[in-house]
Structures are given as structure tokens and as C-alpha cells.
Structure 1
Amino acid sequence: MAQRIVILGAGYTGMTTAMALAGRTRGRGVEVTLVNPITRFTERLRLHQTAAGQDLADLRIPDLLKGTGITFVQGWVTAIDAGARVVSLDGERTLTYDTLVYALGSVADTEAVPGVAEHAYTLDSAAEAGRLAAQLAGARTVVVGGGGLTGVESAAELAETHPGLRVVLLSRDVPGSMMGAKARAYLHAALVRLGVEVRSGVEIAKVLPGGVELAGGEWVEADACLWTTGVRVSPLAADAGLTVDERGRIVVDATLRSISHPEVYAVGDAAAVRQPYGIIHGTCQSGIPTGAHAAASIARQVRGKQPQPFRFGYIHQPISLGRRDGVVQFTRPDDTPRGLYLKGRWAVAYKEFVSSSPWKTFGLLKRYGGATVWSRGGRATR
């Protein structure tokens, strides 16, 4: 019988796994099934552009899968029976697997602060980013909650696209705190130039329809709030009895297999992947290499070999500051900053390359399988 491999999630990581696996196992009696709730591929790295009202390419997952032999199943994963190796979809359909790849990623944490789920927007989907774009038509003020890379990119994009809009960036930490002093100074100068009001060292206590309330009681009026701080993962893995960490991520061994259920590989944001410098943080930069490595490991098992340990090192922190400016901080493998950075048009060109449409990358994986991966954003080897 053919070996049944089911991949849950068709984001950057899940698509990488599927494409690489199809290329590596062609003609070896393997059935690969890719599950996703929608047919459109979500370019999450560009959703801040959608929120600003810009149109992105309409990329359809079934179009890329043509000729790969991969079966695409549209549906929501509602439960996993790890003992029986069965996945439930939409509460009524089931898929049976021999090997499962869990690539369901993460979403914005809208539960930690009161009012976020009801009154704030996130960049979890193109649909929600589009709703924010519609809300900003005629708006006077928008609050961006969170000064991480997503918050900074979003604030800059909104300010550049809507020059008359007041953009207030609220953050516990100083934006760009993970960068070197020179790159951080350039980032802050760009936000000033764009008119973004940055307030660091503050905490949002509550989100309400007309604005946000800060810890201490201060009120910041806003027509909309974009929430970019904190993420959470689906409880599906924990509910299935897989060993998870305190954040609900699947704990994996050195080869990216679940420590409690070795027939399950976990990749991307939903996996707690340990490296010598600690647990890697969930980004596209680290997610794509985990997907490619999982594909390589499964292909090795199909050939009767043992999977190999996963090794990964960061190389950069690229940030868009609107469409005409940017800054790129190059890093050591543990993500601490080096002295080298790019700014201005050179950073724009670099950032555009690393976050351009993944269609070409997926196409190469489909064709060649990705024996050794040098991803656009991180490096990993089998």
C-alpha cells in the first residue's frame, strides 16, 4: 500500500513541505495530501500592504499543485486522533495518515488583553487585512499595538499610503530593540519622517470601539486598532495528546518529530524547535527551512534511512519602511545583530528579493526537491 502523508496547513511552511516532498518522493508510492481551509495562498509577509489598501496577486494553491501528484483538500481541521492516526475535517470528513506534518502555524493572540478579539484588527488573513483597509477610508487615527517587526512595517506602510492619517505606534519595548544601534536609529528616523507617533514603554490595558485604554487609565482615541503583538497556536495538538510546551507548541526532537508521537512532524510556528542558542522563534525565516527539512527526513524514511538532525541559523532582520525605504540588520546565527546593515534603496531591493512572491521558490522545490536549503531569510542543512 502507498504511504499516506498528510500535511496540515498550506502557508509558507506547509507549502514548502509539500513541494519538496513531491519532488523527493516522485515514483516511490507515496500519497501526499495537503489540507487548507481556503484555496488562496496567503502572503502573510505582505498583509500590511493589504491593510494599507494595496492589491496583492491572487495566488491559488491548486494552480501550483498541478502536475505534482499532490491531492489538495479544502477544509478546516477540527480534531486529530493521534492514536488512530485520523484527522477530522469540518466535523464530518476524515483523513487517515501514516505520517502527519503539522504546519498550522500561529495567529495573533487576541485573548491576552480585553477587547482585542471584539474591537481590534489583525493580520491573520487577507480578508481581515482587507476589512481594516475599508475601515481606514475616511479614518483620522489608527493605533498599531506592538512595536515588533510586524508593527513597525504596518505603521510605516499605513503612514506612507495615507499621509493624512494619524498613526500611533504603542509598544512596551523600543521598536527595533533587537537591532544594532545604527540600524535602530535609521528605523526611528524613518518613522519620524513618515509622521508615525511612537510611544514606547506603554502597555495597552483594554481595546474599546473608539480607542484604547493604557495601563494607568490614559485614553488614546482611534478609529481603528491593529493588533500585532503576541501570537498563539491552535489547541488541536494539545487536545490530541501530543506533548506540547507551555505555549501549546509541539515539542520535537532534533529531527523535528514529535517526542511523544514520532509519526508526527511539526514545523513552523507550531513547533518548539530547539537549537544550541535556544528555541527558534516563529518567522518565515525559520519556518521554510523546517518545512524543507521535514520533507527531506520523510523522504529518507521512505527510502529506509534515518532522518537527520535539523540545524538552523538566522542571517538577517529585514524591515520595510513603506514602499521606498527599509532597513536590514544582518545577524549572527542566534539572531543577535552584527555590525553590518543596509538602509534606503539597497534595503528595499534586498527586502523585496527575500519576501517576493514565493511562487518561484515553490516551483524550484517542486522540480528539484531542495536537497540542501538556503532559504530566503535563513539557512538550514539536512
Structure 2
Amino acid sequence: MNAQHEPVVATAHRVLILGAGYAGMSAAVQLAARLKRREDVQVSLVNAQERFTERLRLHMTGTGQRLAELSIPELLDGTGAQFVRGWVTAVDADAKIVRIDDDRVLHYDTLVYGLGGVADTAAVPGVEDHAHTLNSAQDAEVLADRLARLGSGTVVVSGSGLTGVESAAEIAERHPELNVVLVGRQEPGTAMNPKAKAYLRSALERLGVRVRSGVKVVKVRPDAVDLEDGKSIAADVVLWTSGTRVSPLAAAAGLTVDERGRIVTDAALRSVSHPQVYAVGDAAAIRQGYGVMHGTCQGGMPTGVHAAVSIVRALKGKQPKPFRFGYYHTPVSLGRHDAVVQFTRPDDSPRRMYLTGRVAARYKETVTASPWPTYGRMKKMPASGAFWPHGGRFTRETR
């Protein structure tokens, strides 16, 4: 029987998960796996589309490479979890209701909020109108079509973080006829150790990517980007990867949020203002001993797992345990056959150890491919152990 048509127990405890990104999917599949024999609990996952977006591969989609169609309802089929397709338009944390775009009202007893971040296109004039983003597979496909029709010209990638570096390298490799300029306030690989950073820079040079560091884009025009120093760079295409923003729905719902709009959580990932709400992934401001976690798939999936385990504990009358997480690595692809992998300490500072070249590329591909098969394994058996397959360490929490 399809998961969307499972019978609903009238008195069921309703767990509603918003967002089927890496964190939200982890929460949904873990809950389904752990609650198979609980007919008194209803799990529903809300997402705007049925296709799972592989955010780790969007720079590949953006250069015209075909990826597998991963279906969220198909993964949930047989688990007992329901899939609800729709855009979330409002959350009322006091009334415990969620509204979606077809005017449906969804009620919950426990909410897992996983509406993650997107590229911030509002902070700089002209970005919304004249720049491409990698916010979704559809956005990436629009970029791929534009690049394929360009023929020649200059592509400016704004943002020298990991998304910007991977995108610039991918575009330069797939479209050697184009001039690619990577613009950012920091040098690419700034968080890596000196040798890994040097390798990354040499790889970009080999691909023909021109790097402009220490500069800030203050305006995007139809044919150029303007810099803070008064200079401009002519551009036929602009890809915007500078900064992220989260949905304003959490703040509008009355949840306590930080200065970036992320839900402030306690040690167990519950909202400090509404403990029936768990926040996961990019949507959460999760403090660890080394500071607030930054949004990555590496950290997002474990937050979803922990929220699921905490909900199960609460349903059994037990107290949720604190979430503890340490980073493990920073893998960066440099086209299809090259990469650099910087291994890190738990606080994300770089270790001396790193990988480069084809070995690193294979490592990176294994990391990138791991989430979806991991969901399949979770579906049959809840995750256990302290090591996460695509990187990151978190506390053993399986009972």
C-alpha cells in the first residue's frame, strides 16, 4: 500500500516534519524505522516537490550533467510515513498548526522544522534579477541551459566558499570555451591547511579559473558585477553563491530565533521557546562546545537522526539526550577527476592530513553519493554507531 494512503489512527500522536532536505529526510526515515510497530503515532513529511534535491550535486546539474531522479514518496513507501506535497506558507507554534499553499491546515503534536537555507539574493542589489543560483534542481537546470547556449564569454561566480569553488571548477572543466572568474572576500580554501589550500589554488589555475580575492560584489548588473573598490567585472552570466538566508517562517511563528533567523535550540535540539518543536539542519542554531554549528550535509543528517531518536524517547516517557557532534572532513570537488579533502578536528579546524587528486575525487564521490543509500539502509534498520558515513562524529544514541 502506498504510504500516502495508509490509514490514520484517530488518536495518533502526530509528528509533522517540514522539509525533505538531508536533515528532514533523516528524521522522517529514522522515525519510520523506529516506529513501525506503533500504530498510535502518525509521521508525515511535508515538502514542496516529490523529487529529492541532491544539494551536494547541484553544481553538476548546473553544468548539464544528468543525475538520478530520486523519489521521496518511493523511499517512504511501506514505512508507514505519509508524504504531503506542498509549500509551507505559515506555522503557528502556539496553535500547533501548519498551513500549506493549497489552503490545507495540518495539525501536529510534535514538529520537526527542517526548512533549510537558500542563497541570499536580497542583500545585494541586482542579484534577484540578474544572477543565477543553485537553490534547487530547477535553478541549476536553468543555469545549465544558459551556459550551453552561451558559446563564449565570461562567467562570474560570486562567493569563494565551497559551493563557489566547486561550481567554478565544474563550469571551467565542462565549458573550457568560457572565461570563469571566482570572486570573493576570502581566498579559496581559507580554512584548509597551507598545503591543501595551495593544491586547491593550483587546481583552479590549471582549469583556467581566475580568482579575485579580497573583493566584495556590491551590485549585479545585466552585463557586469560592481565591486566595493569601484571597479567592475564584465559578465555574461553571474552565479551567486555568496551567503545564505533561512525562511522567515520560524520567526513569524513566534519561535525564538537568532540574528540569522535560525531556531535557537536546547541541547536536545528542541526550540528553547516551544519544546514541542525540534529544529534540524540549516534551520537550527545549534550550539556545541566549539560554537554554533554551520550548515552542511555532514552535520545536517545527524541532527535529523538525533531529533528522531529524541522523539521516540519522549514517546516512551524518557528524557531526550544532548546532541554532540564533531566535524570530520571538508571534501571539495575540482571537476570530475580531481578534488581536495581536508581532514579536520571536531571543531572544524584543519588537521595536517589531506587527500588530493583522483583518490580525493573518489573519496568525494563516495561522500556525495552516501546519503540516499543511507536512507535506504535506515528504512530497514535504524542507524547505530558513532560514525556517520559521509563524515562527522556524533554520540551513540540508539536506545
Same fold, TM-score > 0.5, yes or no? yes
Give the counterpart of 2:107 among 75, 89, 96.
96
Specify which of 235, 243, 247 is matched with residue 234 of structure 1: 247
- Alpha-carbon shift at residue 371 of structure 1 (Å): 3.5
Match 1:178 to one of 175, 191, 208: 191
For residue 170 of structure 2, the aligned residue among 141, 146, 157 is 157
After TM superposition, list the pairs within 5 Å mapping 1:262-301 onto structure 2.
262-301=275-314
Report what 1:51 is aligned to.
Answer: 62
User: Which letter does structure 2 place at the counterpart of 1:40?
Assistant: R
Q: 2:152–2:177: 8 Å Cα contact kept in structure 1?
A: no
* Aligned residues of 1:6 and 1:34 also touching (Cα < 8 A): yes
Q: Which residue in the other structure is 2:23 paired with? A: 13
In structure 2, which of residues 355, 369, 380 is the aligned counterpart of residue 342 of structure 1?
A: 355
Structure 2 counterparts to residues 127-138 of structure 1, below 5 A: 127-137=138-148, 138=151
- Code of the residue aligned with 2:17 in structure 1: it is I
Match of 2:328 in 1: 315
Structure 1's unaligned 5+ residue stretches are: none
2:92 matches 1:78: no
Aligned-pair Cα RMSD in Å: 0.9
How much has 1:24 moved relative to structure 2?
0.9
May I ask how many residue pairs the two structures share in their alignment? 382
Does the 8 Å CA contact 2:215/2:229 hold for their aligned counterparts? no
The answer on whether the counterparts of 2:86 and 2:102 sit within 8 Å (CA) in structure 1 is no
Question: Which of these residues, 32, 35, 45, is aligned with residue 25 of structure 1?
Answer: 35
Which 4+ stretches in 1 moved above 3 angstroms? Answer: none
Note the residue ranges of structure 2 that are not aligned, 5 or more in a row. 1-10
d(CA) in 1 for partners of 2:386, 2:283? 20
Counterpart CA distance in 1 for 2:372 and 2:124 is 37
CA deviation map 1:90-149 (0-9, x unaligned): 161111000000000100011111111111111100111111111112241100001001
Shift of 1:219: 1.7
Aligned equivalent of 2:344, options 309, 326, 331 = 331
Alpha-carbon distance in 1 for matches of 2:386, 2:48: 28
Alpha-carbon contact 2:109-2:276 (below 8 Å) kept: yes
Q: Distance in 2 between matches of 1:2 and 1:291?
A: 22
1:144-175, Cα deviation, whole Å (9 max, x unpaired):
00100110000000000011110000010011
Displacement of 1:358 in angstroms is 2.5
The aligned residue for residue 6 of structure 2 is: none
Distance of 2:386 and 2:320 partners within structure 1:
16
2-structure distance, mates of 1:352, 1:129: 19
Partner secondary structure for residue 374 of structure 1: coil
Deviates more, 1:357-366 or 1:239-248: 357-366
How far 1:357 sits from its partner (Å)? Answer: 5.2
Does structure 2 retain, via aligned residues, the 8 Å contact 1:78–1:91?
no
Match of 1:305 in 2: 318
Aligned identity (percent) is 63
Matches of 1:34 and 1:283 in 2, distance apart? 21
Cα distance in 2 for partners of 1:149, 1:4 equals 38
Distance 2:332 2:176 in 1: 20
